[in-house]
Amino acid sequence: MLKRWFSTLHVFGRELVANPRQVGAACPSSPVLASRIAALVGRQSDGYVIELGAGTGAITHALLSAGVPATRLVPVERSERLASHLRRRFPHVGVRHGDACELAQLATELTADGGGHVSHVVSSLPLRSLPPADVRRILDAVSRVLGDRGLFIQYTYSVRNGTESADRLHWCGRSVVWLNLPPARVDVFATQPSTAAEFRRTSGWDAPATDLATA
């Protein structure tokens, strides 16, 4: 257990030194942050769960523990080193070494021939340090690939100012996780206003006073 933790920190640290802007975090996600996110997905994942920027797999692990089937979980990671680490850690999961900018193509491939739908996109991407054109492309693809009841879950390290607005997505709510280094804020978005309203009624998360979506 301790050995795996050190090995995870080692692989994360090497990637951080090599690509600080792409990694965008000082540490892997804490188990508390990972399970806060996974609890949202595990309770209602009936489609593919695409995890963008899976890194060392802290959230991947929590999603599997929350009941997301390995066959429905698709971690995407741009770093070759981290993608190899993920494949070793989760040999039964179809890890993709690739760019989140290719999300639309990935979803088309997964759902071709009526092979299901994408119910969740979970993102650890450092949106504030990625090129703005990439961020627009990724958020645009998120709103297109998610089904009617789909949810997009993104966390940031800015506890006060999260990701409240995303094109064509409706902000459902936020939750701050203090037990993470640094503390993180998780924001949830839905493609449909009715799904956002249901989330606010049932999740117990802090809800926005008004829907800030730009739809």
Ligand X SMILES: C[S@@+](CC[C@H](N)C(=O)[O-])C[C@H]1O[C@@H](n2cnc3c(N)ncnc32)[C@H](O)[C@@H]1O
Using CB under 6 A as the criterion, which residues of the chain lie in contact with ligand X when the complex forms? 12, 22-25, 28-29, 52-53, 55-56, 58-59, 76-79, 82, 99-101, 124-126, 130
Angle between helices 31-42 and 58-65 (to 10 degrees): 40
Closer residue to ligand X (CB): 101 or 196:
101
**CA-to-CA distance for 153 and 143, rounded, in angstroms?**
12
Instruction: Pick the closer one to ligand X by CB: 58 or 207.
Output: 58
| Closest distance of CB 125 from ligand X, Å | 5
- Which CB sits closer to ligand X, 91 or 114? 91
Distance CA 42, CA 64 (A): 8
CB nearer ligand X, residue 107 or residue 130: 130
| Least CB distance to ligand X at residue 127 (A) | 9
Tokens at residue 68, please? 């997301």
Q: For the chain, where are the E strands, in sequence order?
A: 48-52, 73-77, 96-97, 118-123, 146-156, 170-177, 184-190
Residue type for 54, please?
Answer: A
CB of 96 to ligand X, least distance (A): 9
Q: Fill in the amino acid letter for 120.
A: H
Provide the minimum distance between the beta carbon of 118 and ligand X in the complex, in angstroms, as a whole number: 16
Kindly state the smallest distance separating residue 112's Cβ from ligand X, in Å: 22
User: Closer to ligand X at the Cβ: 177 or 213?
Assistant: 177
Strands 184-190 and 73-77 turn out to be unpaired
